[in-house]
Amino acid sequence: MASNLQPPTANLTTATRFGRLFVKYGTVTLVSLMVGRMLLVSFVAYWKATHPEPPPPPTIGFGVLPALTFPEKKESERPTSYKLETGLGSRLPEFDIDRAKVFLMPKSIASLLADKEVKEVAATYGFIFEPQLLDSRTYRWTKTGALDSSLEIDTQNKTFLYKTNYLSKPELITNTRRTPEEYEAVRRLKSFLDKTDLLADDIATSSGDVVFLKSIGGELEEAFSLSDADFIQVNLDRTMIDEEYEMYNPEPENGVVTAIISGVLSGQESIVDLEYHYKPVDYEQMETYPVRSAKSAWQVLQSGNGFVAEKGTSQEAVIRDVDIGYYEDWDNEQEYLQPIYVFTGDNGFVGYVSAIDTRYINEEN
């Protein structure tokens, strides 16, 4: 009787063949899956990079904003014509933004302790006699000594002007070697403000901008270097918004805090002139608003409706650069810190135009 059983060798050969096929096709399948996954992940990443989700619309949380208030300028303080000559020729730079941040500036409120507080500030700076009341919220102190000096303080927002007759004192310009180094000049100003808790956080970290000054015929002119200087001007501005956007004011050559420092005098007495225009900004209270195009802002400037902070020395303003910054008023209390287009050009020209889309500005304000 014939047997149907195959020899063990045949069974082993078959199993080996199927095993090899399994490994072969299994490996191919696994590699295909891995390559396919990599291709899929790469495609998804590429798609997201080339088709990003649109950002949420600007928040516009403060509603319609009040128009920025710029100082009045005479017609003679404006150029008669404007010309665009940037690094792009007669083209404007492109700004890759469609919105900008707007920050709340808390309104100052008259305090029952305001009178006491400003008198403490004055006493710290050596003004101990009773002040003169200039108006409902401004005091003036005067003091005679080596330098005759005056101090005017707004009791509501604590902005102040400190003035002396330093330019009439020739002895202050007899020793230029003692004019402080730049770092020391900035340190002295910050120390001066810190004594009365007027050194706010957003100016305490400012590196400060320094200008060397020389007295010629009782007038200050810019000096070439520290060794040539009789005085040093220190400008403190707030730290930049998002480490990118600088602060600007009605007088672009000055900071929100500006001081003149003498090298002949020492310590607190070395500060012979100081303007403190600082008002708080609440950086936690922020909303975003659409911005107008640079082209639109340029048309506003050309039409004569922008603010000319510095006319320069020419009747034709040749614009070399356009940037975005933030404007803070000195004479009026702003409700919000708002962005502006800044146009700078030859012979010291500086002009500002609001950067907020006009649909969200109350022009009648």
| Distance in angstroms (rounded) separating the CA atoms of residues 190 and 213 | 20
Q: Residue 263 is encoded by which pair of tokens?
A: 């090298």
Place of tokens 């802002």: 297
Q: Which stretches of the chain are assigned E, i.e. beta strand?
A: 65-66, 81-84, 99-104, 132-135, 138-143, 149-154, 160-164, 209-216, 219-222, 231-236, 247-248, 257-262, 271-276, 282-290, 307-310, 316-327, 336-345, 350-354, 361-362
Per the CB < 8 A criterion, the answer to whether 159 and 274 are in contact is no
CB atoms within 10 A of CB 15: 10
* Closest C-alpha among 255, 102, 116 to residue 193: 255
- What does the pLDDT read at residue 285? 97
CB atoms within 10 A of CB 246: 14
3-state SS record for 97-151: CCEEEEEECCCCCCCCCHHHHHHHHHHHCCCCCCCEEEECCEEEEEECCCCCEEE
Strands 257-262 and 350-354 turn out to be unpaired
Separation between Cα atoms, residue 210 and residue 181, nearest integer Å: 10
Residue 155 in tokens: 């009791």
Both ends of the chain: CA-CA distance in Å? 116
Tell me the DSSP string of 234-281: EEE-PPPBTTTB-EE-SSTTS-SEEEEEESSS-GGGGEEEEEE-----
Determine the length of the chain. 365
pTM above 0.75, yes or no: yes
Per-residue pLDDT of the chain (365 residues; tens, 9 = 90+): 455 555 666 666 776 777 677 777 777 787 777 887 888 788 777 767 776 777 889 999 999 999 999 999 899 999 999 999 988 778 898 898 999 999 999 998 888 888 999 999 999 999 999 999 999 899 999 999 889 999 999 999 999 999 999 998 888 876 555 678 889 999 999 999 999 999 999 999 998 999 999 988 888 998 888 888 889 999 999 999 999 999 999 999 999 999 999 988 888 889 999 999 999 999 999 999 999 999 999 999 999 999 999 998 889 999 999 999 999 999 888 999 999 999 999 999 999 999 999 999 997 65
Helices then strands, counting H and E runs in the chain, come out as 5, 19
pLDDT at 363: 77
CA quadruple 175, 181, 182, 183: dihedral sign: negative
Instruction: Please give the pLDDT value at position 7.
Output: 63
